[in-house]
């Protein structure tokens, strides 16, 4: 008694939509046939040539050609265009294949239902969530997934100024050459290790200072005997309320070596003042301190929220047992806060690795140094990548750095994901 | 008073000064006469409103079209707010209310993609827009801001998860369609979360620097973030008081918005930890 599912399945293999037609889902069948026809038409007419272009990236760049008696400049293949269209074509073909597989599975599933005699649901019910998701999926596909694919591809090309910028020249696949360059070629390797080391030091220091700073400030306000708690909280949240780029640009001026008010106060006390943003060491100190100013309010708000959720009876029980304030803090408050905020610590660490604004707006990665290629002493991997792309047109190196960053964050995301309880327990509230 | 409390108050006052000083200094500088960064006293000797007036006057000797920047930022922020909020609500609702095939794996994809900072794809977006000659347009910026909005849907999903299913089931028994349920039951109940999402996307677009600087190339198309950065970069400390006035005008709407959304803040921040 399995005839319906088998027949519908094979019909759908033959041509998408036929199985649905056989199952008497006429509108669905028609829709599928139409999608199938468009898919086949597109693939046979244009998509295959585009994909071929993705593989070759063009044979001939801009060149001179003899037309009659004079040489003329003839536009050649534009490798990057070919790459973009190639990637798009691959995505469309992949979507088409997924559609085809789903179509067969759907025909078989509906056929089985008919075999067992249960009712067949209408099209409307299944399709509504997908109708809701259509727009978001298109957005994410084109502005998140495709760029990621494209970036990964760029890392394996030689797309960089001055010798490989279309339309003048062709861009070619070079395999792992760029990675090799980044790890082994003197100038690039020095810059990469230097910037990577500072990125990690920065991420650790920035996370630790903001996290514990936030806990300290929150506990300071929450002490017994401190009045106007709401008022202090409000005051301390101000740095978070001001747009980041504004406060960072202001800080940049405040730390100005010659005219800034900070050094002015130093001079007022007869001191020389410090080269806050111009000396490699002090620039690093400055970015970390300024980052504390921006980051502590966030942790503070978070910790204060958690403090209110600690059950009061724990403290009451401790009082009955005659515990001191310090013991209560040590054995109840601290474990509770640390436990509740541990996942945030990973998020903040990952965030700090990519903390673009603080570095770029405050120091622009400077002070500059001869040792590095296109990077300064306070540059993080992200700001370096940004400069490589926008200012120096070293797209392949930038893409390689991006891939490495991507891997670091991927590891952290997995770590975080495995800790996200609610993802597994999400249906509990209903 | 106990010494511990006294010491705590002292510390609190110190922190408070550190928190307020930059803002206070900027506001006072914006009312100071002259244009230099340097000043003998923090409180201006002579007060003036000239810098605020000057911001909106186009002068030939410098390229600071502040009014245009303000308008551009407003356009970009409002458009991305509308588009981004819509996309985020649709995604969150679909994931919260429907159990369709492939849902779990798609949730996983959203979770992982959401952790990647958008600017890792900046190289690709920049080169693609550059090659296709689409750089330097506000629409490109709006698309970039709102297209990825779906990935930030977890707060909204957490909110939809708490709306009882029985409401919809009752409506469905009465014969309401999915669309009808979404529009006339879910949306009115979601006012707080809609406010939260639209305000955060608005603020996000208002203050973004990374994409704005990469995409917008000519001064007439800049947003405030790029423009102000450029004043500091190009004029260094010679137009400081003007810059300070510009900063005050940028910060006011966002700071006010922030005060208004403060009550959502803790929810938003902890959502990642407890709700997922």
Query: Which among A147, A226, A301 is the nearest to B125, CB-wise?
Result: A147
* DSSP notation for A136-192: HHHHHIIIIIHHHHHHHHHTTB---TTT--TTTS---B-TTHHHHHHHHSHHHHHHH
**Is A99 touching B (CB cutoff 8 A)?**
no
Please give the structure tokens belonging to residue B180. 């009808």
Q: A288 or A168: which carries more pLDDT confidence?
A: A288
- Check whether domain A179-427 has CATH 3.40.50.720, yes or no: no
Is a pLDDT exceeding 50 seen at residue B204? yes
Backbone angles phi, psi at A416, to 5 degrees: -65, -40
Nearest CA in chain B to A430: B164
Inter-chain residue contact B113 with A140, CB threshold 8 Å:
yes
**Span(s) in chain A for CATH 1.10.3720.10:** 179-427
Contacts made by residues A175-182, CB under 8 angstroms, sequence distance 24+? A178/A396, A178/A397, A178/A399, A178/A400, A179/A155, A179/A400, A181/A397, A182/A397, A182/A400, A182/A401
Dihedral sign, Cα of residue A301, residue A304, residue A306, residue A309 = negative
Are B114 and B171 part of one and the same domain? Answer: yes
pLDDT digits over A75-97, tens only? Answer: 778 888 888 889 889 988 998 99
B213 contact partners, CB below 8 Å, separation of at least 6? A390, B225, B226, B229
Are B31 and B112 part of one and the same domain? Answer: no
What is residue B272's predicted lDDT score, i.e. its pLDDT? 42
Which of these, A153, A192, A201, lies nearest to A384 by C-alpha position?
Answer: A192
Query: Which among B90, B128, B237 is the nearest to A84, CB-wise?
Result: B128
Inter-chain residue contact B266 with A302, CB threshold 8 Å:
yes
Is a pLDDT exceeding 90 seen at residue B81? yes
Residue B193 CA: distances (Å) to CA of B79, B134, B183: 19, 34, 15
Which of these, B187, B185, B164, lies nearest to B174 by C-alpha position?
Answer: B185
For residue A367, the 8-state DSSP code is S
Q: Quick one: pLDDT band at residue A123, thresholds 50, 70, 90? A: low
Nearest CA in chain A to B256: A241
Contacts made by residues A50-53, CB under 8 angstroms, sequence distance 24+? A50/A82, A50/A85, A50/A86, A50/A88, A50/A89, A51/A86, A51/A89, A51/A90, A51/A93, A53/A77, A53/A82, A53/A85, A53/A86
Across residues A120-128, what is the average pLDDT?
63
Which of these, A219, A238, A242, A214, lies nearest to A229 by C-alpha position?
Answer: A219
For residue A332, the 8-state DSSP code is I
pLDDT digits over A25-44, tens only? Answer: 888 888 888 999 999 999 88
Are B89 and B201 part of one and the same domain? Answer: yes
Query: Which among B124, B250, B270 is the nearest to A246, CB-wise?
Result: B250
Are B113 and B226 part of one and the same domain? Answer: yes
Which residues from chain A sit within 8 angstroms of residue B86, using beta carbons? 135
Q: B37 or A45: which carries more pLDDT confidence?
A: A45
Across residues A285-314, what is the average pLDDT?
89
Are B88 and B224 part of one and the same domain? Answer: yes
* B 152-191 residues with CB < 8 A to A: 158, 161-162, 164-165, 178
Are B108 and B167 part of one and the same domain? Answer: yes
**Is A417 touching B (CB cutoff 8 A)?**
yes
Nearest CA in chain B to A224: B5
Which of these, B121, B24, B67, B104, lies nearest to A139 by C-alpha position?
Answer: B121
**Is A67 touching B (CB cutoff 8 A)?**
no
Are B25 and B117 part of one and the same domain? Answer: no
Cα–Cα–Cα angle for A68, A74, A75, nearest 5°? 165
* Percent over 90 (pLDDT), chain A: 17
Inter-chain residue contact B15 with A217, CB threshold 8 Å:
yes
Q: Quick one: pLDDT band at residue B275, thresholds 50, 70, 90? A: very low
Nearest CA in chain B to A79: B131
pTM: 0.83
What is residue A400's predicted lDDT score, i.e. its pLDDT? 92
A to B CB pairs, distance under 8 Å: 266
Does B255 fall in a domain?
no
**Is A389 touching B (CB cutoff 8 A)?**
yes
Give B273 to chain A, closest Cα distance, Å: 6
Are B28 and B138 part of one and the same domain? Answer: no
Q: How far apart are CA B2 and CA B9, in angstroms?
A: 11
Which residues from chain A sit within 8 angstroms of residue B134, using beta carbons? none
Are B88 and B17 part of one and the same domain? Answer: no
* Count of the separate structural domains present in chain B: 2
Are B73 and B194 part of one and the same domain? Answer: yes
Q: How much of chain B is helix, strand and coil, in % rounded to 5?
A: 75, 0, 25
Give B9 to chain A, closest Cα distance, Å: 8
Is a pLDDT exceeding 50 seen at residue B233? yes
Does B32 fall in a domain?
yes
Inter-chain residue contact A220 with B8, CB threshold 8 Å:
yes
Please give the structure tokens belonging to residue A155. 């890392």
Across residues B158-171, what is the average pLDDT?
86
Across residues A348-372, what is the average pLDDT?
87
pLDDT digits over A156-181, tens only? Answer: 988 888 888 877 788 888 888 889 88
What is residue B133's predicted lDDT score, i.e. its pLDDT? 84
Does B259 fall in a domain?
no
DSSP H or E segment with residue A89: helix A79-116
What is residue A143's predicted lDDT score, i.e. its pLDDT? 86
Residue B38 CA: distances (Å) to CA of A251, A364, A390, B57, B248: 14, 22, 33, 24, 18
Q: How far apart are CA A246 and CA B223, in angstroms?
A: 13
Q: How much of chain A is helix, strand and coil, in % rounded to 5?
A: 70, 5, 25
Q: How far apart are CA B266 and CA B10, in angstroms?
A: 27
What is residue B76's predicted lDDT score, i.e. its pLDDT? 95
Are B137 and B191 part of one and the same domain? Answer: yes
Asked if the ipTM is above 0.95, the reply is no
Inter-chain residue contact B121 with A144, CB threshold 8 Å:
yes
Which residues from chain B sit within 8 angstroms of residue A243, using beta carbons? 203, 206-207, 225, 250-251, 254-255
- Average pLDDT taken over every residue of chain A: 84
Is a pLDDT exceeding 80 seen at residue A246? yes
Across residues B41-52, what is the average pLDDT?
83
Q: How far apart are CA A17 and CA A173, in angstroms?
A: 40
Inter-chain residue contact B22 with A429, CB threshold 8 Å:
no
Domain hosting B171: range is 66-234
Across residues B108-133, what is the average pLDDT?
80
Does B253 fall in a domain?
no
Q: Quick one: pLDDT band at residue A122, thresholds 50, 70, 90? A: low
- Which CATH number fits the domain that encloses residue B176? 1.10.3720.10
**Is B98 touching A (CB cutoff 8 A)?**
yes
Are B100 and B44 part of one and the same domain? Answer: no
Nearest CA in chain A to B204: A243
**Number of other residues whose CB lies within 10 A of the CB of residue A44:** 9
Q: How far apart are CA A255 and CA A239, in angstroms?
A: 17
């Amino acid at each position: 008694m399995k005839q319906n599912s088998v027949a519908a399945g094979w019909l759908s293999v033959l041509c998408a939509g036929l199985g649905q037609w056989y199952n008497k889902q006429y509108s669905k069948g028609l829709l599928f046939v139409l999608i199938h026809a468009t898919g086949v038409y597109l693939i046979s007419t244009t998509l295959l040539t585009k994909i071929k272009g993705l593989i070759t990236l063009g044979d001939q760049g801009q060149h001179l050609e003899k037309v009659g008696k004079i040489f003329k400049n003839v536009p050649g293949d534009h490798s990057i265009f070919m790459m973009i269209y190639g990637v798009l074509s691959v995505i469309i073909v992949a979507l088409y294949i997924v559609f085809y597989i789903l179509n067969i599975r759907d025909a078989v599933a509906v056929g089985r239902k008919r075999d067992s005699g249960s009712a067949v649901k209408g099209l409307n019910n299944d399709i509504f969530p997908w109708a809701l998701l259509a727009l978001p999926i298109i957005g994410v596909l084109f502005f998140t997934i495709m760029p990621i694919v494209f970036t990964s591809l760029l890392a394996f090309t030689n797309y960089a100024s001055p010798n490989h910028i279309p339309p003048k020249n062709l861009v070619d696949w070079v395999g792992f050459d760029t990675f090799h360059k980044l790890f082994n070629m003197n100038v690039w390797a020095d810059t990469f290790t230097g910037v990577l080391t500072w990125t990690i030091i920065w991420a650790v220091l920035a996370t630790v200072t903001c996290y514990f700073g936030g806990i300290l400030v929150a506990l300071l306000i929450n002490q017994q005997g401190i009045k106007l708690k709401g008022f202090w909280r409000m005051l301390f949240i101000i740095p978070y309320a001001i747009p980041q780029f504004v406060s960072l640009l202001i800080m940049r001026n405040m730390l100005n070596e010659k005219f800034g008010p900070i050094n002015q106060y130093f001079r007022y006390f007869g001191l020389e003042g410090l080269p806050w943003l111009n000396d490699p060491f002090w620039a690093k100190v400055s970015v970390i301190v300024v980052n504390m100013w921006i980051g502590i309010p966030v942790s503070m708000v978070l910790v204060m929220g958690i403090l209110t959720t600690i059950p009061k009876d724990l403290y009451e029980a401790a009082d009955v047992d005659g515990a001191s304030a310090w013991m209560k803090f040590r054995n109840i408050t601290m474990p509770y806060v640390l436990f509740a905020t541990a996942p945030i610590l990973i998020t903040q660490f990952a965030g700090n690795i990519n903390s673009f604004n603080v570095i770029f707006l405050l120091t622009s990665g400077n002070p500059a140094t001869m040792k590095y290629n296109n990077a300064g002493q306070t540059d993080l991997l992200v700001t370096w990548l940004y400069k490589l792309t926008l200012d120096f047109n070293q797209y392949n190196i930038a893409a390689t750095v991006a891939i490495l960053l991507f891997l670091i964050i991927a590891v952290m995301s997995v770590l975080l994901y495995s800790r996200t309880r609610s993802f597994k327990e999400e249906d509990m509230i209903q | 008073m106990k010494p511990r409390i006294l010491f705590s108050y002292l510390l609190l006052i110190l922190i408070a000064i550190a928190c307020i000083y930059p803002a206070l200094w900027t506001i006072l500088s914006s009312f100071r006469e002259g244009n230099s960064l340097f000043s003998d006293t923090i409180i201006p000797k002579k007060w003036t409103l000239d810098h605020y007036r000057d911001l909106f006057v186009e002068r030939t000797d410098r390229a600071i079209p502040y009014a245009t920047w303000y308008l551009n930022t407003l356009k970009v922020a409002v458009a991305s707010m509308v588009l981004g909020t819509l996309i985020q609500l649709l995604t969150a609702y679909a994931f919260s209310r429907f159990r369709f095939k492939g849902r779990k794996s798609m949730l996983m994809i959203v979770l992982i993609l959401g952790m990647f900072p958008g600017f890792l794809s900046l190289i690709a977006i920049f080169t693609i827009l550059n090659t296709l000659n689409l750089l330097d347009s506000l629409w490109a910026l709006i698309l970039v801001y709102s297209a990825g909005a779906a990935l930030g849907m977890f707060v909204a999903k957490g909110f939809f998860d708490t709306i009882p299913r029985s409401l919809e089931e009752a409506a469905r028994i009465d014969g309401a369609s999915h669309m009808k349920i979404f529009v006339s039951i879910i949306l009115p109940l979601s006012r707080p979360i809609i406010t939260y999402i639209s305000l955060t996307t608005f603020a996000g677009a208002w203050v973004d620097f990374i994409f704005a600087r990469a995409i917008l190339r000519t001064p007439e198309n800049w947003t405030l973030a790029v423009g102000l950065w450029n004043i500091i970069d190009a004029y260094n400390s010679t137009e400081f008081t003007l810059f300070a006035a510009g900063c005050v005008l940028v910060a006011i709407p966002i700071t006010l918005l922030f005060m208004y959304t403060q009550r959502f803040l803790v929810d938003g921040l902890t959502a990642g930890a407890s709700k997922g």
